[in-house]
Structure 1
Amino acid sequence: MRKIYILLLTLLFSANINAQEVNLPQYLNYLGDNPFAITPAYVGIGSGLRFRLNGLSQWVGIKNAPETQSLSIESRLADRFGGGLTIFKDANGNTSQQGFKATFASHLILSDVNQSFFSFGFTYSLVMFNINANSFEDLDAGLGNTLNFNTSNFDVSFLYRYNDYGVSFNVSNILDKKDRFFSNGEPIILRRYSLYNYYIFTRFYGDYEFEPSILVEYLEGDQRSRTDLNLKIRKRTASGYIWAGFTYNFLNDQLFNPNTFAPLVGIKSGNLYASYGFGININNTQSFNVGSHMITLGFDFKKRESLARCTKKFYMFQ
């Protein structure tokens, strides 16, 4: 009986482990004017200490659907360095994970003439993974009501900026898993690669910024990849800015069969920030649920402006 239930748990949740272990879901989150979620190498660029509280509820209308909550804190350290911390909780049915990601980043000036900068980020992650077996009948008493284990890993990230253009490359979960906690089916390779490109159009639009971007993500374990096509528009206001945008998501082996389309809106007023996004499922295989909600709340503490050009504002209205 014990082997049967462990096999069932493995089959049900191995895909979830592969997709989420030591990985925060990036879906919608990184578009909420939270560049730290795009690439840890961003940490330290900007005018102060930033807090972002994020809540993501997926598959609305489905019981025990995936939900994620995270709190990220990041700040400049001196003039050319940055530090960040993300604390998160992620639940999906009978599985859950809690943990943190701690990041240190260094920023370099590549040119005395142009706005050319290079940043490097290094991240340590610790995750506590749990499976709640209370709802399983006739479970071997020797297993207890909860199966849990801890795992840690490292990420590296790179960011290059030239005037209004930027590109970042991240490698998450560098180390392979050494131990298997289930008998079979559990992934060992958890590496995730992501490439993000953006350009901010500011020169001819006065109080507006236009930011098209593209994110490509590849999972080495199952050799699947996805692409996000994004557009954001910011408008300056008396106390900050407002913005609106959308993202269009698809798997790269299903180019003409998109997964989701998500409109997003946000506002920055003084030190306060808020944004909301709703992912609309447009893939027939996901017609069993309504969509996904994302809410981000933030607070920014202003500090003195950096003396180094490489850690000044990321975009006009920051």
Structure 2
Amino acid sequence: MKLKNLLIAFFLFAITFGYGQELNLPVYTQYLADNDFVVSPTFAGIGDYLKIRANGLTQWVGIKDAPDNQSVYADIRIGDRSGLGASFYNDRNGNTIQTGAKFSFAHHLILDVTSEQYLSLGLSLNVNNFRIDINNFVNYNESTGAPIPVTGIEDDRRTSNINFDVGALYRFKDFFFSLNVNNILDKNIDALIRQEEPNLLLNYQIYTGYVFGKPVRNGLQFEPSLFYQMFTSDKRSSTDLNFKVKKFGRNDNYVFGGISYRFLNDQFLKPLNIGPMMGINQNKFYFAYAYQVTTNGLSAYNSGTHVVTIGLNFLRGISNCPCTKTRVRY
């Protein structure tokens, strides 16, 4: 394929992805950076501390106007069995810009103390602002190559939406299974004046895994996990297969490494991307880095996707209920 045709294909793909991502922010491996709250509100308040995670994601480095995302997540336990969480984000994909926030509440139930079975229910309120930036919209004179203003477009197109996520999390000792239903309301498209735009944003996410080993000094902990996404608008779906290893030191500090393999569910042997990750938790500070190699036709024109996470754990308060205790003690 010629470079010109490849760039045209990429441009069309970026537009399609931009429409599809509205109110569906990209989920790469941020949730594996000790931040399950990225996936579901049901994880809010599981822990003895205020957890803050800041993520910076740059996709397809080397391609102009490639997707770029910054986000901050925080959650904390209130009382013994409930949690609150909030997230704020800024996401740009070409000429489409999203900013917004999520506000979450979770309640944790003890199904059986002896066998360590717990059920968590969560709800999120989503506030999303979507804008199409027209500053880069320009035509060129075919003979002279001089720029010509685009007529008929006089201001940015923008709209705001409010939506909700609901979720449930089941834990049995070191096994966990989370089901999340995102954007349960249809989207308001009147402000965009684009009737062909799909208004169904509903999508489903499943996150499940098992933790082998205990967080003891000089101990190892292994965590295979799976993350599944399905969008009802066009029935596309993808799966992440993940594997992490943690090495513990003093006071439950640890370092970790892992790998993630993402594929479309009808193309298991044709991964979208593959990437390693690594990180460290030292006292109250957390840092992680993940890299993903693009394995499709764009791989020759970019150096991959980079994700950096920094975090803090503080304001520790011991819970009297096991349903809000984490697998790692801080």
| Secondary structure of 1:16's aligned partner | helix
> Counterpart in 2 of 1:148?
158
Taking the aligned partners of 1:309 and 1:24, their CA distance within structure 2 comes to 32
| Matching residue's letter, 2:117 | S
- Residue 306 of structure 1 aligns with which residue? 319
**How much identity, in percent, do the aligned residues show?**
38
Equivalent-residue separation in structure 2 for 1:100 and 1:308 (angstroms) = 29
The equivalent position to 1:194 in structure 2, one of 186, 200, 205, is 205
Unaligned runs of 5+ in 2: 1-10, 139-148
Question: What do the CA deviations read for 1:61-116 (whole angstroms, capped 9, x no partner)?
Answer: 01111000001110001110000000000001111100001000000000131110
Q: Which residue of 2 aligns with 1:207?
A: 219
- Give the superposition deviation at 1:288: 2.8
Q: Secondary structure at the match of 2:55?
A: strand
Q: Structure 1 segments of 4 or more deviating over 3 A?
A: 9-15, 203-206, 284-287
Query: Contact 1:241–1:317 at 8 Å: present in 2 too?
Result: no
Shift of 1:290: 1.7
Q: Which residue of 2 aligns with 1:277?
A: 290
Structure 1 residue 203: deviation in Å? 5.6
For residues 254 and 182 of structure 1, the distance between their equivalents in structure 2, rounded to whole angstroms, comes to: 35
Given residue 247 of structure 1, which amino acid in structure 2 is its aligned partner?
S
**What's the counterpart of residue 236 of structure 2?**
224
State which of 302, 305, 326 in structure 2 corresponds to 1:292.
305
The 8 Å contact of residues 215 and 221 in structure 2, kept in 1 or not, is answered as: no
The answer on whether the counterparts of 2:261 and 2:273 sit within 8 Å (CA) in structure 1 is yes
SS at match of 2:28: coil
Partner of 2:95: 94
Within 2, Cα distance between the matches of 1:94 and 1:127?
16
| Partner deviation per Cα, 1:215-242 (whole Å, 9 max, x = no partner) | 1110101110001000001111225111
1:226 aligned partner, one-letter code: S
Select 1:261's aligned residue among 262, 274, 285.
274
Residue deviations 1:184-241 (CA, integer Å, cap 9, x gap): 4311111110111100001699611100001111010111000100000111122511
In structure 2, distance between residues paired with 1:12 and 1:277: 22
Moved more, 23-32 or 223-232: 23-32
Counterpart of 2:15 in structure 1 is 13
**RMSD of aligned alpha carbons:** 2.0
The Cα of 1:11 is off from its aligned counterpart by 9.4
Q: Which moved more, 1:179-188 or 1:266-275?
A: 179-188
CA–CA separation in structure 2 for the residues paired with 1:178 and 1:62: 32
Count of residues in correspondence between the two structures: 307
Structure 2 partner of 1:126 = 127
The whole-number CA distance in structure 1 between the counterparts of 2:16 and 2:159 is: 14
Partner Cα distance (2:272, 2:13) in 1: 23
The answer as to 2:26 corresponding to 1:25 is: yes
Once the two structures are superposed, the pairs formed by residues 26-65 of structure 1 within 5 Å of their partners are 26-65=27-66
Cα deviation 1:156-191 (Å, max 9, x = unaligned): 011000001000000000011243423343111111
